[in-house]
Amino acid sequence: MDLHYITATEAIRQFEAGTLSPVDLLEASIERTDRTEPQVNAVTEQMIESARAAAKDSEARYRAGTARPLEGVPLMIKEEQPIEGMLAEDGSLLEKGNVAELTHPIVERIFNSGAVVHGRTTTPEFCCAPVTHTKLWGVTRNPHNPDMTCGGSSGGSGAALAAGSTILATGSDIGGSIRIPSSYCGVVGFKPPFGRVPGLPPFNSDTYCADGPMGRSVADVAALQNVIVGPWAGDAASLRPALLVSGESGSLVGLKIALSYTLGAFNPDPSVIANTRAFADALRAAGATVDEVDLPWTQDQLNSTAWAHFGQIMGSFIESIGEGDPAQLEQLMPYTRAFIHAASQGGDYVEGLVAESEFYRPLGDIHESYDALICPTIANTGMAADYPGTDTLEAFGDLMTLPFNVIGRVPVLAVPSGRAPNGVPTGVQIVGRTYDDATVFRIGAAVERELALWTTQEWWPAL
């Protein structure tokens, strides 16, 4: 395995054994970033000098026996998550040059864990699209097929991981923004249940929204999740106590897993279905019982429920930044204006809350009999890197992620399932019972071992 594709788990093992230096791993990541960025364009800014100083400190801590949980591991932060004194532009010309006045709580925890933060990653404007291209930063491309999108909104994080530019990365998810790029880029991502990871207002109070970890293995994602999880004094919604998870693989004997190819509301590509079927077979090989189930959801039900919510929170938040000034709003990306318009057409908020409970009930019934549900992450096999996204319902129409933001209290682990004929990876979501994070990691680790897809050098693009 090329050094820039090493997992965080293996890097830490080698750091502890003295066979690899955090300084050398950082330099490999920087060199890889320099090589791939002209094509991939996943990084908004690098933090090379501070990262080099941190890597030297990590090297000394390993020698002294005072290493912290992610000591020496190169990591990139999604630009949406602010760092005091650094740019906070949200991919928008309206925010160009804006400097953050505070640091996101998970970023503070990451620095305190010993991770070597060496860059920030691209997003679509205000994180409101499933693709990543902006007037401010340009087009971020999929390392597996540069003509195609890396997904969004944590697209830069997914692309940087797939390109080998970093070892770990952060994301956030309000409609699939961790899971979409995880699927398209062939990496692992976790959408924690609401409140598990602390956030900043207003979205820390939004049940659709969660900040979470991304990496190239289930164990890596578990390690980063264990750093960012837990209550924070600035977020009343953050849950206590901190719930830790494990990326250790083992038998799934005794687990019952439900399988849905369509969720009732989607029409997946045949290659997506085939790869999901292979994923289910791997679960059976690991000892689980897997049964196909039906869900009664429809696209109309999903859209009316979700957009009533977006209209009151995310859509109005974005519009408020332009202060209703037509000249200001004209500077927004076309997909951003389309999102604002679609959100403005959303229904009554209270009716939407009732609809969310009605939407959950069929899944709740399934979880009474099954330990988890698996389904595809995205119904299609990719979109163009510069896909305009101006038809909002079309842009969101294949995202099988959104139901589990409407039902925001379920944990969802997104892992690869295979590859489409165009070279773009496909993915599967492991959807746990409300707040049962441990089970989705147990299932993900077992299937990672059985499929052995993304644990090989051949999985990663030779850019």
**Catalytic position from the list 58, 153, 183, 217:** 153
**For residues 132 and 140, is the Cβ–Cβ distance under 8 A?**
yes
Rounded alpha-carbon distances, angstroms, from residue 31 to 3, 4, 98, 151, 455 = 11, 9, 29, 24, 22
pLDDT at 238: 98
d(CA 101, CA 455): 39
Reported residue count of the chain is 463
> Is there a catalytic annotation at residue 153?
yes
Residue 305 carries which side chain, given as an amino acid letter?
A: T
**For residues 213 and 415, is the Cβ–Cβ distance under 8 A?**
no
**Catalytic position from the list 113, 177, 217, 238:** 177
Q: Where are the domains of the chain?
A: 3-299+349-459
> Is there a catalytic annotation at residue 271?
no
Question: Does the domain at residues 3-299+349-459 carry the CATH identifier 3.90.1300.10?
Answer: yes
Q: 288: which 2 tokens? A: 């689980």
> Is there a catalytic annotation at residue 177?
yes
**For residues 186 and 145, is the Cβ–Cβ distance under 8 A?**
no
d(CA 375, CA 380): 13
Listed as own residue / partner, the contacts of 365-368 with beta carbons closer than 8 Å and 24 or more positions apart are 366/258, 366/293, 366/295, 367/433, 367/434
pLDDT at 322: 65
d(CA 414, CA 187): 8
Q: For residue 412, what are the β-bridge partners? A: 191, 431
Closest to 427 (Cα-Cα) out of 56, 121, 158: 158
pLDDT at 98: 97
pLDDT at 323: 64
Q: 221: which 2 tokens? A: 């994602």
Using only C-alpha atoms, what is the Rg of the chain?
20
pLDDT at 324: 63
Chunked mean pLDDT (size 10), the chain, 463 residues: 96 98 98 98 98 98 98 99 98 97 98 98 97 98 98 98 98 98 98 98 95 98 98 98 97 98 98 98 98 97 94 75 75 93 87 96 98 98 98 95 98 98 98 98 98 94 92
d(CA 329, CA 48): 35
Tokens 């429809």 belong to which residue?
298
**Catalytic position from the list 29, 58, 78, 113:** 78
Q: Is the pTM of this model over 0.85?
A: yes
